[in-house]
Amino acid sequence: MNESAGGVDLQEETSGTVKKFMFVNRKAPYGTVYALEGLEVVLISAAFDQDVSMVFIDDGVYELVKGQNTKAIGMKNFSPTYRALEGYDIEKLYVDEESLAARGLTTEKLLVPVEVLNTAQMAELMDQQDVVISF
């Protein structure tokens, strides 16, 4: 009985409504706590099997810069966590083309593979979401 009840529960969980969640990151790391908090919320959201995308706009693109070393400022370097997102099935990472260019950055300088979108493409993606959460 228990076994079959467990099976039914699992069935219900996996067939539940999947919503499109977008997490918008617009802040540089370390200067404020937004970037780290945003990342933690994304990791929590991974437990709920939703359709999650992360986008990086404005100073948010700085979160993904390679070679961060926080030893001398005494804060946790959370940048390796972006590499672990794939393991949580969070594979949709989008970066705003204009924000990258304004900061002299290219995708080669970022620590994870991302998809670069122009303004119109980003706007369209935002439009498709059920829930948008900003950090």
Partner 1 sequence: MLHIVNKSPFERNALESCLRFGRDGSAVLLIEDGVYAATRGNAVELKIREAMGRLKVYALQPDLEARGMQDAVIDGVNLVDYGGFVDLVAEHKAAQSWL
| Amino acid present at 129 | Q
N-term to C-term CA, the chain = 46
Q: How far is residue 58's CA from residue 101's CA, in Å, rounded to a whole number?
A: 10
Q: Does the protein bind partner 1 through residue 97 (CB under 8 A)?
A: no
User: In angstroms, what is the minimal distance from the CB of 20 to partner 1?
Assistant: 28
Q: Does the protein bind partner 1 through residue 131 (CB under 8 A)?
A: no
Q: Does the protein bind partner 1 through residue 27 (CB under 8 A)?
A: yes
Please tell me whether residue 27 adopts helix, strand or coil conformation.
coil
Return the closest-CA partner of residue 96 out of 110, 75, 117, 71: 117
Structure tokens at 23: 């997490």
* Residues 47-86 as x/- pattern, contact with partner 1 by CB under 8 A: -----------xx--x--xxxxxxxxx-x-x-x-------
Q: Does the protein bind partner 1 through residue 108 (CB under 8 A)?
A: no
Beta partners for residue 53, in sequence order = 22, 92
Ordered alpha helix ranges (H), 24-77: 34-45
**Cβ-based nearer residue to partner 1, 20 or 109:** 109
User: In angstroms, what is the minimal distance from the CB of 93 to partner 1?
Assistant: 17
**Cβ-based nearer residue to partner 1, 21 or 29:** 29
Q: Residues interacting with partner 1, by CB under 8 A?
A: 27-32, 58-59, 62, 65-73, 75, 77, 79, 102-104
